Structure 1
Amino acid sequence: MTDYLKIEDKFTYAEAGEGPTIIVLHGLMGTLSNFEDTFNHFSKNGYNVVIPELPLYSLPLLKTNVKNLANFLQEFMEYKKIDNAILLGNSLGGHIALYFTKHYQERVTALVLTGSSGLYEKAMGDSFPKRGSYEYIEEKTKSVFYDPAVGTKEMVDDIFKIVNDRSSVIRTLAIAKSAIRHNMANDLPEMNMPACIIWGKQDAVTPPEVAHDFHKLLPNSDLFWIDKCGHAAMMERPEEFNSILHNWLKDRNL
């Protein structure tokens, strides 16, 4: 995916493919590579896929919150001259997509949520490793997945670096508190665009009941389950995730 990485103005992003635009939003401890299989699949099957690197650790501390991350998405779309897009978000990325949709509904063709925060207050904070030994960070990282082997050493190393950097930790906590403040329950019934909810049955971060609540509150939504799967379905079960989403987009003529 590094072959498709671009750095322009203040934005770093990956982009490939032609067709309707899918903007992918990664989570708090996530990276662009979390969506590599999804990026490759849809960019080769009729979509323009764009994954911006979110400024989670580079915004001024007082601006490190869900609102300003949604503002960043708006600025990115303006910069790229993207009038409307399908928004696909995991964890915090889903929350940013929802907050953006609340304010710019006309620019969102469809929503795709997987393990999204926005309803469940423990999704942000409790799930993310605090400073500690490498073994502790490794255990917490692997617990996000149904299959612990998905939590690679490289991933553990990256998270260990983040949680042992004071500036990053402060911003992580700021985002977590912001996410709790910006509960989306009252806003979801007003979001009338098609919504695809893809959830791991064994998600321990945003449990299955969270997916049911999203499905109940989003008026035009479909809910799909992936078994033997944790919080990041697009990483843990990429072929099944891509198949579900691909068929859903076709059924919805998106």
Structure 2
Amino acid sequence: MQYEIKQHDKFSYIEEGEGEPLVLLHGLFGALSNFKPLIDHFKQYNKVVVPMLPLLDMDILHTSVSGLAKYVHRFIEARDYNHIHLLGNSLGGHVGLVYLLKNESDRVKTVTLTGSSGLFESAMGDSYPKRGDREYIRKKTEYTFYDPAMATDELVEEVFSITNNRLKVIKIIALAKSAIRNNLEKELQQIKIPALLIWGKNDNITPPFVAEEFHKLLPNSELYFIDKCGHAPMMEVPEEFNEILFNFLKKHSSIATEA
């Protein structure tokens, strides 16, 4: 299914369904395909919103976690969303947390993190990303998942096309360095809203101990591990992911369970 990309001022986004907004923030190599099973399921119950984060389109001075968090803030204000359920994968989770910490807003009801950076993430390798080496990119993409078959030719080509552009590579490195510098350990206790942590037990990039640390530091959090699952549970095990998320949202929202 193709989703309509909507435009509001300078913001591009997807908005499907009705109800309390479920705002999805993608990671560094995130694409709409990452969230397709989630969008298709939750548009029955929520207004599912995916802003197209300008990860590789901002000027280099603002290519940072904080720069992206400011973008999310401007987007949410422009669209005037309220009663938001914020969900972020990988770098998207980190951006969501910085947004919450920088903006004392009562717009957000819950936050869900899956494979989020913000405390620790394994580097993709000293020489990453190698330009022009498709097989290297395939191996690194497979490393994201428990099942290497999830790294389809289409997904590998998508990542390869990004890493084969010199300016984009510079911005990827800038974002990765910004994520490492922007450690949230001392601030997370300020986030009091209900937090859901859904983690792959076989996540190589933000390993299970990272989830345990988030759980310890976020005062109102619950943690679920999914076995035989890597860094992107919403892609790799969508049914289990959606069930955990649905039960959490049902507790904390006016989700229409009869839809």
After superposition, what is the alpha-carbon deviation per residue over 1:91-127, rounded to whole angstroms, capped at 9, x for unaligned?
A: 0000000000101243321110000000004357769
How far apart are the structure 2 equivalents of 1:55 and 1:2?
20
**Aligned residue runs from structure 1 range 202-213, under 5 A:** 202-213=202-213
1:167-178 to structure 2, matched below 5 A, reads: 167-178=167-178
User: Cα distance 1:18–1:202, how it changes in 2: closer, same or farther (>3 A)?
Assistant: same
Matched with 1:194 is 194
Q: How high is the TM-score relative to the length of structure 2? A: 0.93
Alignment of 1:224-243 (within 5 A): 224-243=224-243
Asked if 1:63 corresponds to 2:66, the answer is: no
- Cα contact 1:66–1:96 (8 A) shared by 2: yes
Report matched runs for 1:15-30 at 5 Å.
15-30=15-30
Task: Look up the match of 2:257.
Answer: none
Q: Hey, what does 1:34 align to over in structure 2? A: 34
Task: Name the residue aligned to 1:118.
Answer: 118
SS of structure 1 residue aligned to 2:156: helix
Aligned-partner residue type, residue 19 of structure 2: G
Q: Distance between the aligned counterparts of 2:139 and 2:175, measured in 1?
A: 23
Q: Does 1:73 align with 2:97?
A: no
Structure 1 residues 21 and 113, CA gap change in structure 2 (3 angstroms)? same
RMSD value, Cα: 1.7
Report what 2:138 is aligned to: 138
Pairwise CA distance, 1:2: 2.6
Given that 1:129 and 1:140 are in contact with CA atoms closer than 8 Å, whether structure 2 keeps it comes out as no
Higher percent of residues as helix: 1
Instruction: Quote the Cα distance in structure 1 between the aligned partners of 2:147 and 2:98.
Output: 31
* Residues 238-247 or 125-134, more deviating: 125-134
Match of 2:157 in 1: 157
Gaps (5+ residues) in structure 1?
none
Letter in 2 for 1:19: G
How many residues were matched structurally? 253
Moved more, 9-18 or 204-213: 9-18
Q: Which moved more, 1:16-25 or 1:132-141?
A: 132-141
Aligned equivalents of 1:18, 1:84: Cα separation in 2: 12
SS in structure 2 opposite 1:146? coil
- CA shift, 1:250, in A, is 1.1
Deviations 1:175-234 (A, max 9, x none): 111111111111111100000000000000000000000000000000001111000000
State the distance in 1 between where 2:124 and 2:101 align: 20
Q: Structure 2: which 5+ runs fail to align?
A: 255-259
Contact (CA 8 Å) 2:25, 2:89: kept in 1 or not? yes
2: distance between equivalents of 1:40 and 1:253?
Answer: 19
Contact 2:21/2:82 (8 A) holds in 1 = no
After alignment, is 210-219 or 127-136 more displaced? Answer: 127-136
Seen in structure 2, the aligned counterparts of structure 1 residues 232 and 69 have a Cα distance that, compared at 3 Å, is same
Give the AA of the match of 1:39: I
Query: Structure 1 residues 222 and 125, CA, compared in 2 at 3 Å: closer, same or farther?
Result: farther
Query: Could you report, residue by residue, the CA deviation over 1:70-90 in whole angstroms, capped at 9, with x for unpaired residues?
Result: 010011112211134111000
